[in-house]
Amino acid sequence: MFSGARAETVAELVGTASLLDFPPGSRILDLCCGPGLFLVPLAARGHRVTGVDLSPAMLERAGTACREAGAADVELVRADMLTYVAPDSYDVILNVFTSFGYFENPDDNLQVLRNAWRSLAPGGRLLVDVMGKEVLAGWIGRPQAVDLPDGSYVVQRDTVLDSWRRLRTDWTLVRGSTARTASIRSFLYSAAELHDLFLAAGFADVECFGDFDGGPYDQTSRRLIVRGVRK
């Protein structure tokens, strides 16, 4: 999930993608920043960057990545997206790589969008990047295994729950004769559902895209990106 190869892909994306092209010096929050893959290239482009994550281990990795890249000004905050609000503080909020829909109560997921609306300055934009329900329907059920450099491998299995409202993803790491499993449950959103959730949270000019270049969300898309503006 956080491989070196992905870090390179993200850095290239930040340098080229039109949806990630912000005016110099923008105040950008990466909500659920993980190990900081977006923080470093955004800071390198001269933006004022904040990363929020709940996991101390992720924040530590993000801090190390920023220090090693010379991005000492990046602010890192340990907080829960369910409660984090910094009123009128950001021009852009990013929530990427399926970091949305984690709460069991659907109202809590809406609350995350409401918090983002309040944390944006007027005119600011929120971008949420998830695996859209339509995209998932195209490949779910195919076994997925990833080989790791040390000879171990990870098998991912997805299970649709509650009539396509939610998804459980199980990862099994097989190393030698041992196996460890971790699971995440999250809500699934179609483009229309996430679009309407943005409207319910108060966003205007809500648009759906199929990639960070601003391509349409259609039968060829691999991601669902929804963008809304705080007017």
Ligand X SMILES: C[S@@+](CC[C@H](N)C(=O)[O-])C[C@H]1O[C@@H](n2cnc3c(N)ncnc32)[C@H](O)[C@@H]1O
**Residue ranges in contact with ligand X by CB under 6 A:** 2, 32-34, 37-38, 53-55, 58, 80-82, 96-99, 102
| Contact status, residue 187 vs residue 207, Cβ threshold 8 Å | no
Distance separating alpha carbons of residues 76 and 32, to the nearest angstrom: 11
- In DSSP notation, 60-125 reads HHHHHHHHHTT-TT-EEEE--TTT---TT-EEEEEE-SS-S---SSHHHHHHHHHHHHHHEEEEEE
Closest CA relative to residue 133, chosen from 101, 92, 109: 101
Nearer to ligand X, 10 or 191 (CB): 10
The minimum distance between CB 231 and ligand X, in angstroms, equals: 26
Q: What angle do CA 191, 122, 189 make, to 5 degrees?
A: 15
The minimum distance between CB 103 and ligand X, in angstroms, equals: 7
The minimum distance between CB 6 and ligand X, in angstroms, equals: 7
Which residue reads 């970091």 in tokens? 99
CB nearest ligand X: which residue? 34
The minimum distance between CB 162 and ligand X, in angstroms, equals: 20
The minimum distance between CB 171 and ligand X, in angstroms, equals: 11
Nearer to ligand X, 93 or 218 (CB): 93
Nearer to ligand X, 57 or 219 (CB): 57
Nearer to ligand X, 182 or 204 (CB): 182
The minimum distance between CB 23 and ligand X, in angstroms, equals: 22
The minimum distance between CB 193 and ligand X, in angstroms, equals: 20
Distance separating alpha carbons of residues 144 and 135, to the nearest angstrom: 16
Q: How far is CA 148 from CA 112, 142, 201, in A?
A: 34, 19, 40
Nearer to ligand X, 60 or 193 (CB): 60
Nearer to ligand X, 83 or 163 (CB): 83
Nearer to ligand X, 181 or 192 (CB): 181
Closest CA relative to residue 131, chosen from 107, 103, 101, 98: 98
Distance separating alpha carbons of residues 84 and 189, to the nearest angstrom: 22
Distance separating alpha carbons of residues 218 and 144, to the nearest angstrom: 23
